[in-house]
């Protein structure tokens, strides 16, 4: 991480201050600068030494930074650089994980009946093989964080589907929105990571410029939802002969107090009112609380530039579902 501080009068290395924040925030309840400052004050001398805090010969002990020192340093650190450094480190650790290590993470004490059910589900409906990386771009409001003018702070970030690692992040200005921040966010992702990858986006980013940028300039692909903000495109998607198109992928799940059925239809298109579009997706979601008879239904349309031979219905269904899951997990992580 580059140190943006004036080197004059610096007593603590930036790595030390960042390590203090990381260690404090992995402890339950330390989710603010005040609590981070309290955490480091309670550290013993050996822990402070391990963190890299300097020794004060006059006091005869290792010094610890106060809250003001932490606050000033954190305010100057580039969020983009910090996100990049964290992603590179965590991605390297994730790649070294083996299948045996992953299985060791299975919660202990699961009833034998549940284990057999999970094994049977894996055999009957195995997840589609990963042919390319997939990233979800999503923006969230940081709870408890405000700008000097009192407005709320929004962060727009890109998260990797397979493990929810944040790849890039940008602050959204108070007088703008996520749309003009899309390309700068994607520029933070290395070409080797984004090339031939899929970027999943919500309806706000159903922008022709975004699609052209991903396909033509970065060699990537898109799967984006379409709603009323693109009225002509949404009308065109709804007018397709969906009654004549079979359901190509169906899932039924029960959990978290509800039952959900998802049905996915896919139609190949050419000449759609959207750049590089090759497939149109219609997802029908039906859900109800367990024990009730009434179903609620939602129909979502999406479009992708990948043709049928490069994106199967099972893959598209997984990408769409993972994008929603990533949004929830990302929101919880930001709020915490």
CA 48/CA 23 separation, integer angstroms: 12
Band (128; pLDDT cuts 50, 70, 90): low
**Last residue in a domain, options 56, 77, 98:** 77
Look at the chain and report how many structural domains it folds into: 2
Q: Tell whether 197 and 317 lie within a shared domain.
A: yes
Band (127; pLDDT cuts 50, 70, 90): low
**Last residue in a domain, options 77, 102, 126:** 77
Residue 206: the pLDDT is 93
Q: Tell whether 47 and 147 lie within a shared domain.
A: no
pLDDT tens figures, 1-54: 888 898 888 999 999 999 999 999 888 777 788 899 999 999 999 999 999 999
Average pLDDT, the chain: 84
The mean pLDDT value for 66-75 works out to 90
First-to-last alpha carbon distance for the chain, in angstroms, is 24
Quick one: which H or E segment has residue 284? strand 279-289
Residue 107: the pLDDT is 46
Q: Tell whether 151 and 285 lie within a shared domain.
A: yes
Q: Which residue has the higher pLDDT, 156 or 220?
A: 220
The answer to whether the Cα torsion of 20, 187, 327, 97 is positive or negative is negative
Query: Residue 205 in contact with residue 224, Cβ under 8 Å?
Result: yes
Q: Which residue has the higher pLDDT, 106 or 302?
A: 302
Q: Tell whether 265 and 152 lie within a shared domain.
A: yes
80-84 long-range contacts, Cβ below 8 Å, gap at least 24?
80/168, 80/169, 80/170, 80/188, 81/1, 81/2, 82/1, 82/18, 83/157, 83/166, 83/167, 83/168, 83/169, 83/188, 84/168, 84/188
Band (112; pLDDT cuts 50, 70, 90): low
Q: Which CA distances in Å does 293 have to 251, 270, 286, 288?
A: 19, 41, 12, 7
Query: Has residue 31 been placed in a domain?
Result: yes
The residues near 85 (Cβ < 8 Å, ≥ 6 apart) are 1
Q: What is the CATH number of the domain that holds 260?
A: 3.90.350.10
Q: Is the per-residue pLDDT at 136 higher than 90?
A: yes
Give whichever of 22-26, 170-174, 316-320 has the largest mean pLDDT.
316-320
Q: Show the tokens assigned to 251.
A: 């899932």
Q: Tell whether 73 and 207 lie within a shared domain.
A: no
Q: Tell whether 153 and 291 lie within a shared domain.
A: yes
Q: Tell whether 68 and 168 lie within a shared domain.
A: no
Q: Which residue has the higher pLDDT, 6 or 120?
A: 6
Give whichever of 91-95, 117-121, 235-239 has the largest mean pLDDT.
235-239
Q: Which residue has the higher pLDDT, 140 or 318?
A: 318
Residue 9: the pLDDT is 84
Neighbours of 117 (CB within 10 A): 12
Q: Tell whether 71 and 199 lie within a shared domain.
A: no
Q: Which residue has the higher pLDDT, 125 or 302?
A: 302
Query: Residue 237 in contact with residue 225, Cβ under 8 Å?
Result: no
Please report the beta strands in 60-132, taking only residues with DSSP state E, as ranges in sequence order.
61-62
The mean pLDDT value for 133-137 works out to 94
Residue 211's domain spans which residues? 134-335
Q: Is the per-residue pLDDT at 201 higher than 90?
A: yes
Query: Has residue 194 been placed in a domain?
Result: yes
Query: Has residue 160 been placed in a domain?
Result: yes
Q: Tell whether 53 and 177 lie within a shared domain.
A: no
Q: Tell whether 216 and 307 lie within a shared domain.
A: yes
């Amino acid at each position: 991480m580059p140190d943006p501080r004036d080197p004059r009068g610096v007593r603590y290395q930036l790595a030390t201050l960042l390590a203090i924040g990381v260690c404090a925030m992995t402890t339950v309840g330390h989710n603010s600068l005040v609590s981070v400052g309290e955490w480091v004050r309670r550290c013993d001398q050996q822990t402070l030494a391990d963190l890299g805090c300097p020794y004060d010969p006059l006091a005869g002990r290792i010094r610890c930074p106060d809250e003001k020192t932490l606050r000033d340093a954190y305010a100057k650190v580039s969020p983009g650089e910090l996100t990049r450094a964290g992603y590179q480190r965590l991605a390297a650790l994730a790649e070294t994980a083996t299948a045996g290590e992953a299985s060791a993470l299975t919660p202990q004490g699961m009833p034998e009946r549940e284990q057999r059910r999970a094994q049977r589900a894996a055999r009957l409906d195995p997840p589609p093989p990963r042919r390319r990386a997939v990233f979800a771009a999503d923006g969230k409001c940081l709870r408890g964080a405000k700008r000097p003018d009192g407005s709320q702070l929004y962060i727009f970030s890109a998260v990797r589907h397979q493990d929810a690692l944040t790849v890039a992040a940008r602050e959204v200005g108070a007088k703008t929105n996520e749309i003009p921040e899309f390309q700068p966010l994607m520029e933070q992702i290395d070409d080797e990571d984004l090339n031939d990858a899929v970027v999943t986006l919500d309806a706000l980013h159903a922008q022709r410029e975004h699609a052209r940028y991903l396909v033509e300039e970065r060699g990537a692909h898109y799967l984006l939802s379409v709603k009323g903000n693109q009225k002509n495109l949404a009308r065109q998607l709804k007018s397709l002969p969906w009654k004549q198109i079979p359901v190509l992928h169906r899932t039924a799940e029960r959990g978290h107090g509800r039952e959900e059925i998802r049905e996915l239809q896919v139609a190949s298109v050419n000449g759609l009112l959207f750049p590089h579009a090759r497939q149109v997706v219609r997802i029908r979601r039906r859900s109800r609380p367990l024990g009730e008879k009434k179903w609620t239904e939602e129909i979502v349309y999406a479009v992708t530039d990948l043709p049928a031979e490069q994106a199967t219905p099972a893959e598209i269904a997984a990408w769409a579902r993972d994008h929603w899951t990533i949004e929830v997990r990302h929101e919880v992580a930001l709020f915490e």
